[in-house]
Structure 1
Amino acid sequence: MTLRHTTAETFSKVPEVTLIFWILKIAATTLGETAGDAVSMSMNLGYLVGTAIFASLFLVAVIAQIKAKAFHPFIYWTTIIATTTVGTTLADFADRSLGIGYAGGTTLLFALLMASLFVWHRTMGSVSVDTVNTPKAEMFYWVTIMFSQTLGTALGDWTAGTAGLGYTGGAVVFSILLAAVAFAYYRTAISRTILFWAAFILTRPLGAVVGDFLDKPLASGGLALSRYTASAALMVFIVICMVLLPQKAAKSAH
């Protein structure tokens, strides 16, 4: 192993994209939905205040992530959870408080996500997670993730609500789409970077509809669990996974 290879691996601060990565991503996005709703709805703080709270947590987490000298699973997944909670309240604020509806919110957030990826690619030459090994690339990475999480929330709500599929139907749709992405990964020559971001985006609406399924009333097709109970259970599950299934840092591109 060359010195250059070792150094690149040492300073990579994102995890390998493995099965446990996707399990934790779905759990984190589901937690983001239940925790975001707990603050904005159960605590009656509203979407704007909830967004301000989680945006502050997101900023602190991103700073900690960027300042870290190596990959730390707890810091990384705390930042992911922060992006998904702020994504939940921000999407709800755009969809409902701004009055543009799920379709308008989804369209706006999709445009912002595409703009983020475009600027990132024009600036750094790649949007592959293998190149996230500098503070500048990390900033693009986390801004893009925040937009993808927010888009996923709006898309999940749109599918379950406006499209009339319900929470179970929405979960089935996004599970099928994720299976199609997995098939494309193993059976086609489609860019791995494109497939990664497609899967990353699709896991968020899956988490959104699963989160809504857990805490929405029985009359609305949910399980009527307490948002606090669901959030606590998901947090315990995430911590157990991190402890029992250690992750390695991704190998950086040279």
Structure 2
Amino acid sequence: MNTKQQAIFSKVPEVTLVFWIIKIFATTLGETGGDAVSMSMRLGYLLSTGIFAAIFMVAVIVQIAAKKFHPVIYWTTIIATTTVGTTLADFADRSLGIGYAGGTAILFTLLMASLFIWYRALGTIAVDSVSSPKSEMYYWITIMFSQTLGTALGDWTADTAGLGYGGGAIVFGAMLAIIAVAYYRTRISHTVLFWAAFILTRPLGAVVGDFLDKPISKGGLALSRYSASATLVALIVIAIFMFSHKPAKQGH
């Protein structure tokens, strides 16, 4: 399949600066939106997880059924993974009593297993290879694990490790900056660096989201989860429609 054909059938976006900006907005929205439903609406973690999981399944089905890349469908699916990841991680950490460290360890193992199985099955985990229903299934399962892991990791860093929301944001922001430097200045696999960055944007979004809506007494700004979520949705919509979004091309 040549580059032009791959571009037509690719179902995921080209990785650009706009991609990462929207990704961080989406992960932050996952935290505020997930907390809005589970906490502000008082639906609890389990019921909220069920609601978001159903939305996620519908979004994935629509995404896979689509004949070509659609930015709105793709980012809707990403947002669905961040919200269900938030409530699922909170359910495991708090309701089941696994704790942030235990939840992080379990989810990291599941994520690595997902990437390993994907690689063994298709021979690559590169984003530009996601152009078939089978590769998309591996892609979205892996993303689901990464989003859930990110929530647990962000909470563990901010709460258990005692760095707070600001400290957690600095740590994850610095790690992403190091990955960016490695991308341009080293020969480390760009696929490995992509997944490292993709995973780390989730805990960054988690601590930023918590910083926005948690009480001032706990180091947050105490903003309304509803207004914070609505603002993030507006920013994502603006970014989607203001900038050009192309499907990933083979070999890029």
Give the TM interval when normalised to the shorter protein.
Answer: over 0.9
Alignment of 1:137-216 (within 5 A): 137-216=135-214
Distance 1:113 1:27 in 2: 22
> Once the two structures are superposed, what CA deviation does each residue of 1:7-63 show, in whole Å capped at 9, x if it has no partner?
211000111100000000000000000000001101111111010000000000000
Distance 2:114 2:3 in 1: 29
The alignment partner of 1:116 has SS state of helix
Q: Does 1:37 align with 2:32?
A: no
Cα distance, 1:246 vs structure 2: 1.9
Distance 1:181 1:45 in 2: 38
Distance 1:4 1:214 in 2: 46
Q: 1:5 maps to which residue?
A: 3
Q: Which structure 2 segments of 5+ residues have no match? A: none
Q: 2:44 maps to which residue?
A: 46
Cα distance, 1:113 vs structure 2: 0.3
Cα distance, 1:78 vs structure 2: 0.1
Cα distance, 1:253 vs structure 2: 4.8
Q: Which structure 1 segments of 5+ residues have no match? A: none
Preserved contact between residue 133 and residue 252 of structure 1 (Cα < 8 Å): no
Identity, in percent, stands at 73
Q: 1:72 maps to which residue?
A: 70
Q: 2:21 maps to which residue?
A: 23
| Moved beyond 2 Å, runs of 4+ | 3-6
Preserved contact between residue 132 and residue 252 of structure 1 (Cα < 8 Å): no
Q: 2:103 maps to which residue?
A: 105
> Once the two structures are superposed, what CA deviation does each residue of 1:176-203 show, in whole Å capped at 9, x if it has no partner?
0000000100100000010000000000
For 2:32, the aligned partner's letter is T
Cα distance, 1:252 vs structure 2: 2.8
Q: Does 1:89 align with 2:92?
A: no
Distance 2:2 2:187 in 1: 29
Cα distance, 1:5 vs structure 2: 2.9
How many aligned residue pairs are there? 252
TM-score under structure 1 length normalisation: 0.98
> Once the two structures are superposed, what CA deviation does each residue of 1:216-240 show, in whole Å capped at 9, x if it has no partner?
0111110100000000000000000
Structure 1, 3-12 or 144-153: larger mean CA deviation: 3-12
Distance 1:38 1:150 in 2: 17
Distance 1:190 1:150, change over 3 A: same
Cα distance, 1:250 vs structure 2: 0.8
Q: 2:242 maps to which residue?
A: 244
> Once the two structures are superposed, what CA deviation does each residue of 1:102-134 show, in whole Å capped at 9, x if it has no partner?
000000000000110011001011111011010
